[in-house]
Amino acid sequence: TLPSNCPQNRQPEKPNSLNFKLDVRMPGVTPLMSDSYFCTFVPVPSGQKSYIVDFKPHASMETVHHMLLFGCSKPATNEDYWDCGSSYATCLYEAKIMYAWARNAPPTQLPTDVGFRVGGNTGINYIVLQVHYGDITAFRDNHKDCSGVTLQMTFRQQPLIAGIYLLMSHDAVIPPGEKVVNADIACLYKQATIHPFAFRTHTHQLGQVVSGYRVRDGKWTLIGRQSPQMPQAFYHLEHPMDIKYGDTITARCVFTGKGRTTVTLIGGTSKDEMCNLYIMYYMDAKHAKPYAYCMQTGSPELFKQIPPEANIPIPV
């Protein structure tokens, strides 16, 4: 392929600086269909650990619907860019989400002294960028697109490590026509204290509201609540909090089966559904555990106590 004119920086800011910028941008692509999902990747420095401390999005507002960044041990392919929509093939193995940009959503900033750890022995050797091109009318002139993100990085060890706690349902069943269907997820937290500071919700068309709570001594405290029909970015928590050993982390997705004539299950296509709550947190680097998952169905007994606000759809 011809070289594109898209920025491909990988430069120290000044000579001998520990700080550098890394561009993850589309290599000059022209999507031919609306709702195309394209992925591309860049390697991170391999010899020594580095830290992502800031994200600067570059996206054409008229065409880009959303962008996601993942950390990978290996990307799904080594082409310049590839179609990563229907197959969801971003990474070859585990994909670790780190950032989301969505049109009309406020940008997410990492707090001071917080960084995502990559390279070295972290298992993250590449950053994969996924761009969802929504409406492609602006591509009628066949121009080439360089949307992406500039990562502000440093080799300087950060005292606080960023991470993601993902709650997801694997067994939700949404019967056709059913007005209200809940997918409940809950896990006992048994690691060192984390400090959530942002959250992202994800469902497909049928999701009405997704809420996350910390349950401590029977008391439910809101982590975040959002309509998944709003731009699916990471939103900052209204009230910062911590989650410590012995707390329970919970999420409820409220779906509606109205308008469907067949049962809807969890799956990868837009006809299927998903129930995801991503909690972005920081924690002391000494106890760093940057990724964790919760896939347990919450007990009906526990969810009798959920605050009623979790059942109120958010108008969009």
Residues designated as active site:
65-66, 130, 132, 202, 204, 274
Answer for which of 58, 66, 200, 214 binds Cu ion (CB under 5 A) is: 66
Answer for which of 65, 117, 195, 225 binds Cu ion (CB under 5 A) is: 65
Q: By CB under 6 A, is residue 274 in contact with ligand IYT? A: yes
- 236: tokens are 């900052």
User: Using CB under 5 A, which of the segments 10-18, 61-69, 89-97, 144-152 binds Cu ion?
Assistant: 61-69
Cα separations (Å) of 160 from 40, 48, 262, 270, 293? 28, 18, 47, 37, 20
- C-alpha 132/C-alpha 286 separation (Å) is 36
Answer for which of 132, 195, 225, 260 binds Cu ion (CB under 5 A) is: 132
Q: What track of x and - describes contact with ligand IYT for positions 29 through 68 (by CB under 6 A)?
A: ---------------------------------------x
Answer for which of 74, 77, 83, 88 binds ligand IYT (CB under 6 A) is: 88
What are the E-state strand segments in 139-247? 148-154, 160-168, 173-174, 181-188, 195-202, 207-216, 219-226, 235-236
Footprint on residues 65-84 left by ligand IYT (CB under 6 A): 68
Q: What track of x and - describes contact with ligand IYT for positions 229 through 268 (by CB under 6 A)?
A: -------------------------------------x--
Q: By CB under 6 A, is residue 174 in contact with ligand IYT? A: no
DSSP-assigned letters across all residues of 13-78: SSTT-SEEEEEEE--SB--SSTTEEEEEEEEPPSSS-EEEEEEEEE--TTTEEEEEEEEESSBS--
Give me the least distance between CB of 277 and Cu ion, in Å please. 13
- C-alpha 117/C-alpha 162 separation (Å) is 7
Number of C-beta neighbours around residue 153 at 10 A = 24
- C-alpha 115/C-alpha 162 separation (Å) is 5
Residues that bind Cu ion (CB under 5 A): 65-66, 132, 274
Residues that bind ligand IYT (CB under 6 A): 68, 88, 94-95, 97, 168, 202, 266, 274, 276
